[in-house]
């Protein structure tokens, strides 16, 4: 059952040291504010799961919160490398990072299977490539009807899913629209969840009969954090701050500049800065 909490309370009560955590968002609706709160609360030994780890995972890794990353594409989209991720893999800084690597198809299917309560996902994939040689969790099954060999991976069943969405109603039902990625599956596959939203409304009002809505009883905590996806975007609220993604490349390249930025912008801030980021972005666009 969804509880309305502050972000600090939500992370406090739901995310534990050593948890597997899926903070999902496919370019759109990435839960940056929640990620910062996890960093501020100094969670340790996390296994982070995500198809497209980008800046927020770079930050969590660089701040030493993460023991293991389960992923399929780790980069700064359209810009280049994630320097903190690379530093952890290549140099073990600030600590070694174990990697469980998949393709997007495998990750998407693994979330889908988790949401569907299955132990495995079956799909046609990994043909002629090297990932199965380095990831022992990629196996195969034989179709009993055709004899075809199909790839199989374990379903994702994270301890915690964290997503950002556009709106919640007063009951705690949550609505998403636009590029919805694997967020619904991430929440439905997880044991616990935190959803940050742009706003809480009295009523969703007239809406598409097939709108993407997560009922309140599928959710853990619901937290209003306006701007909480910044520098990613929330369709209908604010655009992606592409300039910040480009700027991140320079910030994260060196350990010292990274740490200084984290201190100023995360450790010594609270979630309320996100609303200001979004306002600033909208003011510039206008």
Partner 1 sequence: MADYKPGEMMTVAAARALRNEDVCFVGIGMPSAASNLARLTHAPGITLIYESGTIATRPDVLPLSIGDGELCSTALTTVSVPEMFRYWLQGGRMTVGFLGGAQIDRFANLNTTVVGPYDRPKVRLPGGGGAPEIASSCGEIFIIMAQSKRSFVAKLDFITSMGHGEGGDHRARLGLKSKGPTKLVTDLCIFEPDPQSREMTVTSIHPGVTREQIADNTGWPVRYAANIAVTAAPTADELRVLREVHARTARAHGEAA
Binding partner at 152 among partner 1, its own copies, none, C-beta below 5 to 8 Å by kind: its own copies
Task: Kindly state the smallest distance separating residue 115's Cβ from partner 1, in Å.
Answer: 5
Q: Is 248 in the site for partner 1 (CB under 8 A)?
A: no
Does residue 120 belong to the site contacting partner 1 (CB under 8 A)? no
Q: Is there binding between residue 240 and partner 1 (CB under 8 A)?
A: yes
In 3D, which of 195, 239, 231, 248 has the Cα closest to residue 58?
248
> Does 127 interact with its own copies (rule: CB under 8 A)?
no
3-class secondary structure, 163:
strand
Q: State the binding partner of 199 from its own copies, partner 1, none, CB within 5 to 8 A by kind.
A: none
Residue 93 binding partner 1, by CB under 8 A: no
Does the footprint of partner 1 cover residue 246 (CB under 8 A)? yes
Q: Does 118 bind its own copies (CB under 8 A)?
A: yes
What mask, x for binding its own copies by CB under 8 A, covers residues 131 to 170?
A: ------x-xxxxxxxx-x-x-x-x----------------
When the beta carbons of 8 and 120 are compared against partner 1, the nearer one is 120
Which are the contacts of 252, defined by CB distance < 8 A and separation ≥ 6? 55, 58, 62, 82, 83, 84, 258
Residue 115 interacts with partner 1 (CB under 8 A): yes or no: yes
How many residues are there in the chain?
286
Rounded Cα distance between 21 and 160, Å, is 5
Query: Residue 79 or residue 212: which is nearer to its own copies going by CB?
Result: 212
Q: Could you say whether residue 208 binds its own copies (CB under 8 A)?
A: yes
Beta strand 160-169 with 20-23 is parallel
d(CA 234, CA 59): 21
């Amino acid at each position: 059952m969804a509880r309305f909490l502050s972000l600090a309370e939500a992370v406090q009560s739901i995310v534990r040291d050593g948890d597997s955590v899926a903070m999902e968002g496919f370019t759109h609706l990435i839960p940056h504010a929640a990620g910062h709160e996890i960093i501020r609360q100094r969670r340790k030994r996390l296994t982070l799961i995500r198809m497209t780890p980008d800046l927020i995972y770079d930050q969590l890794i660089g701040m030493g919160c993460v023991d293991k990353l389960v992923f399929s594409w780790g980069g700064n989209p359209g810009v280049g490398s994630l320097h903190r991720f690379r530093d952890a893999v290549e140099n073990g800084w600030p600590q070694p990072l174990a990697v469980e690597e998949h393709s997007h198809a495998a990750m998407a299917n693994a979330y889908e299977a988790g949401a569907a309560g299955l132990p495995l996902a079956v799909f046609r994939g990994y043909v002629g490539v090297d990932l199965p040689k380095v990831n022992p969790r990629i196996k195969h099954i034989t179709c009993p009807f055709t004899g075809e060999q199909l790839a199989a991976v374990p379903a994702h069943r994270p301890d915690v899913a964290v997503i950002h969405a556009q709106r919640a109603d007063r009951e705690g039902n949550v609505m998403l629209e636009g590029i919805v990625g694997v967020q619904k599956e991430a929440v439905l596959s997880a044991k616990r969840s935190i959803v940050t939203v742009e706003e809480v409304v009295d009523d969703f009002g007239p809406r598409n009969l097939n709108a993407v809505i997560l009922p309140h009883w599928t959710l853990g905590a619901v937290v209003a954090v306006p701007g909480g996806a910044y520098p990613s975007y929330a369709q209908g609220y604010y655009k992606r701050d592409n300039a910040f993604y480009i700027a991140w490349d320079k910030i994260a390249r060196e350990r010292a500049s990274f740490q200084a930025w984290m201190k100023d912008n995360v450790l010594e801030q609270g979630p309320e800065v996100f609303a200001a980021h979004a306002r600033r972005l909208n003011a510039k666009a206008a």
